[in-house]
Structure 1
Amino acid sequence: MTHSKKNQLQKSLGLSFNIAVLIGGTIGVGILRTPGAIAAMLDNYWLIISCWFCGGIYILIGANSYAELATMLPKAGGSYNYIKRAFGDYAGFLSGWYDYICNAIPPAFYCIVISEYVIILFPSLENHATTIALSFLITFLLIHIGGIKNGSVIQQVTSVIKVICFTALIVSCFIYSGVKIAPIEKDTSIFQIGLLFGFFKSLQLIIGTYDGWYSVCFFAEEDRNPSQNIPKSLFSGAILVILIYVLLNMAFFHVLPVSELANSNLAAADVAKVIFGKNGAIIVTVIAIFSLISILNAFMMIPTRILYGLSRDGFFIEKGTKINKGGTPIVALLVSSLFSFVLICIGSFEVLFSFGTFMSVIVWGLAYCSLIKLRKKEPNLPRPYRSIWYPWLTYLAIATTLGLLLGFVYSDLKNFIIIAITTLLSYPLFLFLNRKKKA
């Protein structure tokens, strides 16, 4: 399939956008909500902090592999390009659509959650949740129709505001001294089976809040200097996110003990009420809205790049490669936004979100495997960044991802069976598209 120059993405992005999209695409409301659930499962301060730290180490190990893959094949769409190159067209087709689905569902989810937080601030809007959600979607659609520069500026501004908000919350918690910290009791049950299960269950939740750490790879084709910018942004952005997550948990437990935060639906709000009084919940709600706007902006761009790449490779309609004057894959953006529009109108897509988590982990595992395969299959490919401690860290990433996948299968067998059946049914569709592409 040939493409004219007008259907090529513009090389207009740099390091500051990359770091902003990694932070913006990762830090959402998960970090404000999950500490309560994790405190209930582990009930041990040091175990909780180490669990968040372990999640961070996992994404750093992943960043080490993705830095090599993305600089070796700096193409729009990220993971599926590496998997396709290593394992062939069908693996690329399957992983590409898996990756698209798990990145196309979040915009609708974020629009709905933003509307819920807006209603907390303005209760009189209670009956207009769907309208508010659709308004946010349409607003961001119009922004991105205007071009990649609009999206880039908004991503950088909202990500900076997000980091300032979280830093202010962390500092406020550590300055606060109204509650004496209860002595940390030594828990002799750390090695009990129940607690070990809780640790791995918590790790799954934590890795969910870290999801988005590889966002920069989707934009590799639009980077002015991917060889240098992608590794720098992957590592610096990931380290910044880890610091915010670990310090925020330490800050929360500085204000309230583990037992107080256990099972809290919005741990940040409970902590903020102690520090700021009744206005605490409003402050956390405002932080949540800024976090969600930043992550929504990122996820308006990510699925369009995957769909553009799939279209270019003949796995979607050829018009999916159309680029407008502003450098936006316009057809891919409109298709993805229509999908989000439908999901918002349906209003209930938790099952799809569960699919997305499964698919995301599968794609990560295949991407790590593709690094090993391509080292053997194409040793002479230019590799501006070479994964450190190869292959041991890559093997560790594969083993950890496999463990996560087994954990998901154990806790949600029904969705796994549906995904397995969908995978089998996808092959005839792939053959049909392949025949059409060759015709």
Structure 2
Amino acid sequence: MTSKSPNQLKKILGLSFGIAILIGGTIGVGILRTPGTIAGMLDNYWLIIACWLLGGIYVLIGAGTYAELASMLPKAGGSYNYVKRAFGDYAGFITGWFDYFSNAIAPAFFCIVISEYIVILMPEWQNETTVIAMAFLIGFTLLHATGIKSGSIVQQISSVIKVILFVILIIACFSYTGIQIEPIKKTPALMDAGIIISFLKSLQLVLGTYDGWNAACFFAEEDENPGKNIPRSLYFGALLVIAIYIIINMAFLYVLPVSNIANSPLAASDVAKVVFGEKGSIVVTIIAIFSIISVLNAYMMVPSRILYGMSRDGFFIKKGTIINTTGTPIVTLLVSSLFAFILIYIGTFEILFLLSTFMAITVWGSTYVSLIKLRISEPNLERPYKSWGYPYTSILMIVFSIALFTGFAYSDSKSFLAIVGITLLSYPIFLLLKPKSNKE
């Protein structure tokens, strides 16, 4: 596709959008739900904090890799472009589809969670969660069909408000001086499953909650100055998210003991009931809905960019490159929304969340390897930004990714088998599409 094509994406985004898409696409559903699950598995304050900190360090180092690659190859599609450039069409193909599935799953479980929070406010709608989730998906599909400017404005406003609301919640928790809650006596789950397995499963959930930290890279082609804006967006946004995640866990555990939060599906609401009373819990539930809406807005845009980039190279239908007059890759938006619509109907939050995390780790690991390959094979490529600590940080991230993949495969065999199945099916499909890509 040449720059003269009428289907070219519009370069109208800047630094504020990059930060907003990272914050808006990351903070939300995970931090409101997973603290209870993680507390149930680890049952130890310092292990819980260490798990969130380790996930944050992983993200911060990874930001350096993505900052270099995205500023060097500012194209729609994110990791797909980097792996394809480094290792060829098939590697790019499978990475792109893994990344697509991982991100296209996201709107489905965000809509599911929104519906679950709404039911808390409206118990009479208890049996309508699927309908509510589908309604949100349709509404945001229509919003993004109106153009990238609409999505950008909604993202920036909602992300700022989201940060303010989380800061208010944190301050309220640390200001709490009420009666101390007696810990629930129970057998530590840590001893049931073993410390290593429990920590790995917790880390899987933590990294799933951090998922979205590289969101700015998907929009590099639409950024006015990707060489400067992408690195700044990644680092500033990542540091802010890490700080909020760690501090909010400390705030929750300041209010309630680990044993009282353990296995709670809605830890934020449980904490709010203690801090604000029953009415306060309702207020926080409303805040949670608004927060997740911001995440949903971000992930309505990401999958369509991945599929657009792959369509341009012949790895999806040719009409996938169609851009409407307002800058939206409209065909890939509709395809992605249809995929999420089906997942809402057949899936649940837990299954979708674990599977998407597994795929994300695979994509991230492939991206770290591609940085080393491109440094060796194409040392003269213009690099507006270079990853700090190279090659040591890259090697560390590769080893860490392999360890995570191995641990996840052991502790989550169902998701691992799903990954294997998708991989086996990918090559014959690639062979069918390859002639088309060669003609581009």
User: Normalising by the residue count of structure 1, what TM-score does the alignment of the two structures yield?
Assistant: 0.94
Shifted more, 87-96 versus 419-428: the winner is: 419-428
Shifted more, 71-80 versus 345-354: the winner is: 345-354
1:82 matched to which residue of 2?
82
1:212 matched to which residue of 2?
212
The CA RMSD measured in Å over matched residues stands at 2.1
1:15 matched to which residue of 2?
15
Are residues 1:201 and 2:211 paired?
no
Shifted more, 60-69 versus 102-111: the winner is: 102-111
1:173-212 deviation per Cα after TM superposition (whole angstroms, max 9, x unaligned): 11111245999xxxxxx99993343333322221111111
1:396-439 deviation per Cα after TM superposition (whole angstroms, max 9, x unaligned): 11111111101110012233234223312211211111123446
Counterpart Cα distance in 2 of 1:123 and 1:192: 35
1:411 matched to which residue of 2?
411
Residues 1:181 and 1:135: Cα distance change in structure 2 (over 3 Å): closer
**Where do 1:375-386 residues align within 5 Å?**
375-386=375-386
Equivalent pairs, count: 433
Counterpart Cα distance in 2 of 1:383 and 1:173: 44
Contact 1:77 1:218 in 2 (8 A): yes
2:98 matched to which residue of 1?
98
Shifted more, 348-357 versus 331-340: the winner is: 348-357
1:323 matched to which residue of 2?
323
2:173 matched to which residue of 1?
173
Contact 2:155 2:294 in 1 (8 A): yes
Q: Could you say what secondary structure the match of 1:386 adopts?
A: coil
Are residues 1:279 and 2:313 paired?
no
1:306 matched to which residue of 2?
306
Counterpart Cα distance in 2 of 1:31 and 1:352: 16
2:52 matched to which residue of 1?
52
Counterpart Cα distance in 2 of 1:337 and 1:394: 35
1:110 matched to which residue of 2?
110
**Ranges in structure 2 where 5+ consecutive residues have no aligned partner:** 184-189
2:233 matched to which residue of 1?
233
2:42 matched to which residue of 1?
42
Counterpart Cα distance in 2 of 1:57 and 1:415: 25
Counterpart Cα distance in 2 of 1:262 and 1:412: 20
Following superposition, the deviation at residue 368 of structure 1 comes to: 0.2
Q: Could you say what secondary structure the match of 1:265 adopts?
A: coil
Contact 1:15 1:233 in 2 (8 A): yes
Q: Could you say what secondary structure the match of 2:277 adopts?
A: helix
Counterpart Cα distance in 2 of 1:200 and 1:128: 35
Contact 1:179 1:256 in 2 (8 A): no
Contact 1:304 1:333 in 2 (8 A): yes
Are residues 1:427 and 2:427 paired?
yes
1:209-256 deviation per Cα after TM superposition (whole angstroms, max 9, x unaligned): 111110010000000111111111101100000111111011112112
Letter in 1 for 2:166: F
Q: Could you say what secondary structure the match of 1:409 adopts?
A: helix
User: Normalising by the residue count of structure 2, what TM-score does the alignment of the two structures yield?
Assistant: 0.93
Q: Could you say what secondary structure the match of 1:105 adopts?
A: helix
Contact 2:109 2:352 in 1 (8 A): no
1:65-116 deviation per Cα after TM superposition (whole angstroms, max 9, x unaligned): 1111111101101001000000000001111111111111111221222122
Counterpart Cα distance in 2 of 1:352 and 1:54: 23
1:369 matched to which residue of 2?
369
Shifted more, 26-35 versus 320-329: the winner is: 26-35
Counterpart Cα distance in 1 of 2:191 and 2:56: 22
Contact 1:179 1:255 in 2 (8 A): no
1:186 matched to which residue of 2?
none
**Ranges in structure 1 where 5+ consecutive residues have no aligned partner:** 184-189
2:187 matched to which residue of 1?
none
Contact 1:161 1:290 in 2 (8 A): no
Q: Could you say what secondary structure the match of 1:34 adopts?
A: helix
Are residues 1:336 and 2:336 paired?
yes
Following superposition, the deviation at residue 142 of structure 1 comes to: 1.2
1:187 matched to which residue of 2?
none
Residues 1:197 and 1:419: Cα distance change in structure 2 (over 3 Å): closer
Counterpart Cα distance in 1 of 2:37 and 2:353: 19
Identity of aligned residues (%): 65
Shifted more, 333-342 versus 167-176: the winner is: 333-342
Shifted more, 313-322 versus 134-143: the winner is: 134-143
Contact 1:67 1:387 in 2 (8 A): yes
Contact 2:52 2:206 in 1 (8 A): yes
1:150 matched to which residue of 2?
150
Q: Could you say what secondary structure the match of 1:75 adopts?
A: coil
Letter in 2 for 1:371: L
Shifted more, 384-393 versus 408-417: the winner is: 408-417
**Where do 1:286-297 residues align within 5 Å?**
286-297=286-297
Counterpart Cα distance in 1 of 2:254 and 2:419: 42
Contact 2:201 2:408 in 1 (8 A): no
Contact 2:204 2:354 in 1 (8 A): no
Counterpart Cα distance in 2 of 1:338 and 1:220: 25
